[in-house]
Amino acid sequence: MAHRLTRLQIIFLIGIFFIVFNICNRLYHAWKMSSSRVPVIEQVQEETGADLEENNENKEQQLKNLESKARQQIAVSGEKIKIKKKDGYDVFSAESVLRKAKDSFEVPDFESALMYAKEASEVVDTAEKIVKPVKTYIVQSGDCLWYISKKYFKRGSNWYDIWQANKEKIPDFDLIYRNQNIIIPTLQKNS
């Protein structure tokens, strides 16, 4: 007796697959980051106890400074991404690089986090504006701007926006003609 999978079971299996894939991907990147580091061999010198303590304090201070710089650069890059995204720019690649920076910061690998955060800042600076495709509509017999507005915006009261976008083609808002090609504008959301 053959067992058939239902749509819900297939959707569930696909979801499980993506979750497992995401976990494996993160583990792979963490492994890659840890194995790509080249160990630094330092020359061993005879140091007194005071010199060793001073050296440890300097390293701790350097680590704190590096952590602070990485945190600040991540914050700056994040704000730049938010601003560019709000202005309609494609910031997907910058967001993915910033995610690497945040992941490295959590490890804690502050050098990599700082490097990735700077890279995200450079990527967002070169982001391009997303161009939305222009919708057009061919007027049918019996149409009016109110009907067309209701069809596209779910409200007839936006007829004025359609008229403003087509003022050259429609000098009088009461007179539109069959087979006339008009532009349907993208409405700005008030935020």
Distance, C-alpha 73 to centroid of its chain: 17
SS3 120: helix
Is the pLDDT confidence value at 191 over 60? no
Residue 93 in tokens: 């690649």
The yes/no answer on whether domain 135-184 falls in CATH 3.10.350.10 is: yes
Judge if pTM exceeds 0.75. no
Distance, C-alpha 123 to centroid of its chain: 12
The predicted structure's pLDDT at residue 52: 67
Counting residues of the chain whose pLDDT is more than 90, the rounded percentage is: 32
Cα distance between residue 22 and residue 15, in whole Å: 11
Domain boundaries, the chain: 57-131, 135-184
Cα distance between residue 139 and residue 12, in whole Å: 45
Q: What spatial distance separates the first Cα and last Cα of the chain, rounded to whole Å?
A: 58
Mean pLDDT score, 96-107 = 91
pLDDT, tens digit, for every residue of 36-61? Answer: 655 544 444 454 556 667 777 888 88
Cα distance between residue 58 and residue 52, in whole Å: 10
Cα distance between residue 15 and residue 8, in whole Å: 11
